[in-house]
């Protein structure tokens, strides 16, 4: 559940508790169907929309079901309260002329017009959410089969088809603009330079933190030569002892075993590369002879 949804439900419950305080109702045990009907009437008196009233009733119902599960209440009176009927409105859609203008909006004055046009065409062709399109990877797009694999809410995966316009826009982006974007990520030289810059920046950050903290006069180390006390030594030795204790416990309960030794213990490992139907006993019998007999020349 998204943080916005949680915040909306929290706001609905807070308004419900505020209304209960105004009605001098201090316990959930005193809430019955009449009290809930009065709360709904107050919402209608404020001329709220039916969708807002329905959402607040859903929040209250879930709250009372939680109280029943926790054993605070024996039954929920909210279930007897019906939600207002919601009207279904036809969605507002763009005209074909507006869609054409939208797809042609990215121009060469933009930084990456082909990328923007590919995103817009995929959004229009598939009906996916913006988060789903922005999360697409190259392995999720199958241009030869004209479909892509999207990961939506709740990690639910679905397959959506791509029309020829979207396929053409994606191909143009992959062939003309994506090499420019991935030039730095695929170049070992630039990756090395960027990693060096990041390392220097992290070192400077720690240097500034340490230097600006040591130069303060209120630190005990700036008063005179530092000499550790028994508590400092105890903390230092205790830290080492705690680490060694955990390290020895780790070795004791999770010993390090060689992978080769594990393979030799498994009968199906076939470490020496022998056939599976190889019988070592038969081989020993065939090659066992009496040492007193001279071998055949």
- The pLDDT of residue 216: 59
pLDDT band at 244 (very low <50, low <70, confident <90, very high): very high
> Which of 230-234, 247-251, 281-285 has the weakest average pLDDT?
281-285
Q: Are residues 12 and 75 in the same domain?
A: yes
Task: Select from 46, 80, 114 the last residue of a domain.
Answer: 80
Task: Select from 133, 149, 181 the last residue of a domain.
Answer: 181
Q: Which of 35, 111, 219, 198 is nearest to 27 (CA)?
A: 35
- The pLDDT of residue 258: 62
Tell me which residue has tokens 């070992």. 188
Q: Are residues 65 and 116 in the same domain?
A: no
Q: Are residues 173 and 100 in the same domain?
A: yes
Whole-number Å distance between alpha carbons of 271 and 276? 11
- Euclidean distance between the first and the last CA atom of the chain, given in angstroms as a whole number: 85
Given a cut of 90, is residue 284 above it in pLDDT? Answer: no
The residue ranking higher by pLDDT, 275 or 163, is: 163
Q: Are residues 8 and 50 in the same domain?
A: yes
pLDDT band at 113 (very low <50, low <70, confident <90, very high): confident
pLDDT digits (tens, 9 = 90+) for 201-236: 999 888 887 777 666 555 555 566 777 889 989 999
The residue ranking higher by pLDDT, 93 or 239, is: 239
The answer to whether residue 278 is domain-embedded is no
- The pLDDT of residue 199: 92
- The pLDDT of residue 234: 93
pLDDT band at 280 (very low <50, low <70, confident <90, very high): very low
CATH number of the domain encompassing residue 39: 1.10.150.130
User: Averaged over 274-296, what is the pLDDT?
Assistant: 47
Q: Are residues 111 and 139 in the same domain?
A: yes
Q: Which of 80-89, 166-175, 255-264 has the highest mean pLDDT?
A: 166-175
The answer to whether residue 266 is domain-embedded is no
The answer to whether residue 146 is domain-embedded is yes
The answer to whether residue 263 is domain-embedded is no
- The pLDDT of residue 10: 86
If one counts the domains in the chain, the total is 2
Question: Rg of the chain over CA atoms, in angstroms?
Answer: 36
- The pLDDT of residue 243: 93
Is the whole model's pTM more than 0.85, yes or no?
Answer: no
Tokens of 263: 């393979």
- The pLDDT of residue 189: 81
The answer to whether residue 188 is domain-embedded is no
pLDDT band at 286 (very low <50, low <70, confident <90, very high): very low
- The pLDDT of residue 1: 66
Structural domain including 168 reads 96-181
pLDDT digits (tens, 9 = 90+) for 31-50: 888 888 888 888 888 888 88
The answer to whether residue 130 is domain-embedded is yes
Task: Select from 165, 181, 197 the last residue of a domain.
Answer: 181
CATH number of the domain encompassing residue 117: 1.10.443.10
| Torsion sign (Cα): 281, 285, 288, 292 | positive
Q: Are residues 170 and 100 in the same domain?
A: yes
The residue ranking higher by pLDDT, 2 or 271, is: 2
- Residues 90, 92, 98, CA angle at the centre, nearest 5°? 150
- The pLDDT of residue 154: 74
- The pLDDT of residue 200: 93
């Amino acid at each position: 559940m998204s943080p916005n949804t949680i915040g909306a439900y929290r706001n609905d419950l807070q308004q419900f508790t505020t209304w209960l305080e105004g009605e001098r109702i201090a316990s959930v045990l005193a809430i019955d169907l009449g009290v809930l009907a009065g709360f709904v009437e107050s919402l209608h008196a404020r001329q709220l929309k039916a969708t807002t009233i329905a959402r607040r009733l859903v929040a209250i119902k879930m709250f009372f079901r939680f109280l029943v599960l926790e054993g605070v209440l024996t039954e929920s009176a909210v279930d007897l309260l019906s939600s207002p009927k919601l009207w279904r409105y036809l969605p507002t859609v763009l005209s074909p002329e507006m869609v054409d203008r939208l797809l042609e909006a990215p121009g060469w004055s933009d930084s990456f017009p082909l990328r923007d046009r590919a995103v817009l065409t995929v959004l229009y062709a598939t009906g996916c959410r913006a988060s789903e399109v922005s999360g697409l990877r190259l392995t999720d797009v199958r241009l030869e089969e004209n479909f892509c694999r999207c990961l939506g809410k709740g990690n639910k995966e679905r397959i959506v088809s791509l029309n020829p316009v979207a396929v053409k826009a994606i191909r143009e982006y992959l062939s003309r603009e994506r090499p420019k974007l991935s030039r730095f990520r695929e170049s070992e030289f630039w990756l090395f330079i960027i990693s060096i810059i990041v390392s220097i920046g992290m070192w400077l950050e720690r240097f500034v933190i340490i230097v600006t903290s040591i130069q303060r006069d209120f630190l005990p180390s700036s008063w005179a030569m530092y000499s550790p006390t028994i508590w400092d030594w105890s903390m230092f030795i205790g830290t080492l002892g705690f680490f060694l204790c955990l390290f020895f416990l780790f070795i004791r309960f999770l010993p390090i075993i060689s992978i080769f030794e594990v393979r030799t213990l498994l009968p199906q490992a076939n470490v020496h590369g022998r056939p599976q139907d190889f019988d070592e006993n038969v081989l020993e019998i065939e090659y066992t002879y009496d040492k007193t007999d001279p071998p055949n020349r």
